[in-house]
Structure 1
Amino acid sequence: MREFGLIGRTLRHSFSQTYFTQKFQNLNLEDCQYELFELPTVDELPALLSKHPNLCGLNVTIPYKEKVWPYLTKVAPSAARVGAINTIQFTRDGRLIGHNTDMIGFRDSVRGFLPPDFAGRALILGSGGGSKAVEVALRDLGIGFWVVSRNPLGQGLTYDELTPEIMREHPLLINTTPLGTFPDEHECPPIPYDTLTSQHYLYDLIYNPRETEFMKRGLAVGAQAKNGFEMLCIQAEEAWKIWNTERGNEGEQ
């Protein structure tokens, strides 16, 4: 049996198991299964690996995309560039190689969401592992941005600094925080929603619920909004490619 799975602290919101289970059924892969592994701390990863010797690949989600780094043998260029890991490849000789497919997932998804002539800037809400993937993707797309968080580091902004002018100059808003994830669907990032207009584009990395409070507030004023389900699908397919390279080959995306 080839075993795959997702590690994170709380996984009841995740569709990854459903996604891959359906994929295995569609491909008639009866020797594959996908499990959810909730870890109270990332320190429990070695014990998980010992308990599941048939693991062939793992996805990584909040809050371990950065914390998992010390447990890996090597990081691929994609993960090194982003500074966060969401996919772990198991090689034939027992090494664990960290990759990042979130960047590809977001880049390809947001490219289809924005109009071809989009020339505005973006506000990235949150500064965790998902935010880092979004930063790299926006650089690839030539879109300038500010990172917004409660306690920003470096040249970021706080939520309190989001003036009407800044909101107007940054029509693309990307929520990379967990605020609004099932079951806490009433939550949302603390931005000045009264400054949103029909010219804004709201992208939420959350996909459960399908329509977050963040998205609802944008849609209410005629803005465009999109959740992270397409990003999930794209990054999952990229992870599947990595897991199915020759297990001794450190294939890179």
Structure 2
Amino acid sequence: MENAQQNKHKLFGLIGKNISYSFSRTYFSKKFEELQLSNCSYVNFDLENIAKFPNILKEHPEVKGMNVTIPYKQAVIPFLDSLNKNAKTIGAVNTIKITKKGKLKGYNTDYYGFKKSIEPFIKPNHTKALILGTGGASKAIAFALKKMGIDYNFVSRSSSNADFTYKILTKYIIEDHPIIINCTPLGTYPNIEDKPPIPYEFITKKHLLYDLIYNPEETAFLKLGKEKGAAICNGLKMLEFQAEKAWKIWNE
């Protein structure tokens, strides 16, 4: 009986919008191959609207776990039965576990992936950060920075949900925040010329520019930082770390 349980097909997937580019499917398909888990597969659930989320479970009762990406990290929360402590504090979910009782529990592994991937780049002068964007991903980044003892300010197009708008970023503000993190989708393939509208001329070799985007590997944002001598890092390692954490959660 136990063997039959183990061989039962297990489906995992990614919820998002316009996600054909997704890292997750490639990553997990390769993982299942390496671990010789022929009963596991991973698919993209490309949803035009989050209201269609419950249909996934009706149509695919074999789903055991899901990753969540832009733009549903916050919108998915009302559909879940519970949240773990960190996800509740952050207010965003990027991992869902379907429990043995069929309940949906939300987790956030983004903060863990980010923290683990940025730590090797942190220098003693990196005590303040600018977080570009105010979506679900930025909340996890803020949570990680807080755990690392790094002060942060949010930057957005409108002042209603941020500390600064792009328009008011001065030389002093840029110099005062040696870490700059792009949590917006600006610069993602195919729109690789796009970049957050910050005054790049004030970036120096004391800065660290981190982009959550991983496709392309070097965004216009990172390229300009590199030209100014700044340390740069893309979001690939963060994705790998958060995916590993998600896999652990699904198997606990």
Distance in 1 of aligned mates of 2:251 and 2:14: 17
Runs of 4+ displaced beyond 6 Å: none
Per the alignment, residue 88 of structure 2 pairs with: 80
Is 1:214–2:213 an aligned residue pair? no
Is 1:156–2:163 an aligned residue pair? yes
Per the alignment, residue 137 of structure 1 pairs with: 144
Is 1:53–2:64 an aligned residue pair? no
Distance in 2 of aligned mates of 1:100 and 1:118: 28
User: Could you tell me the TM-score, scaled by structure 2's length?
Assistant: 0.95
TM alignment of 1:190-209, pairs within 5 A: 190-209=197-216
Pairwise CA distance, 1:206: 0.6
Distance in 1 of aligned mates of 2:100 and 2:86: 21
How many residues matched?
244
Name stretches of at least 5 consecutive residues in structure 2 with no aligned partner. 1-8
Contact 1:75 1:97 in 2 (8 A): yes
Q: Percent identity?
A: 48
Contact 1:13 1:181 in 2 (8 A): no
Distance in 2 of aligned mates of 1:155 and 1:16: 30
* 2:147 alignment partner, SS class: helix
Distance in 2 of aligned mates of 1:19 and 1:134: 22
Deviation readout 1:15-56 (Å, 9 max, x if unpaired): 111100111111111110010111001000011111111100
Greater fraction helix: 2
Per the alignment, residue 18 of structure 1 pairs with: 26
Deviation readout 1:178-233 (Å, 9 max, x if unpaired): 11111111111110111111111100001111111100010111111100000000
Distance in 1 of aligned mates of 2:30 and 2:161: 43
Contact 1:120 1:169 in 2 (8 A): no
Distance in 2 of aligned mates of 1:153 and 1:135: 17
User: Could you tell me the TM-score, scaled by structure 1's length?
Assistant: 0.94
Of residues 38, 42, 45, the one that matches 1:37 is: 45
Distance in 2 of aligned mates of 1:80 and 1:38: 25
* 2:56 alignment partner, SS class: helix
The one-letter amino acid of 2:27's match is Y
Name stretches of at least 5 consecutive residues in structure 1 with no aligned partner. 246-253
* 1:153 alignment partner, SS class: helix
Pairwise CA distance, 1:118: 3.5
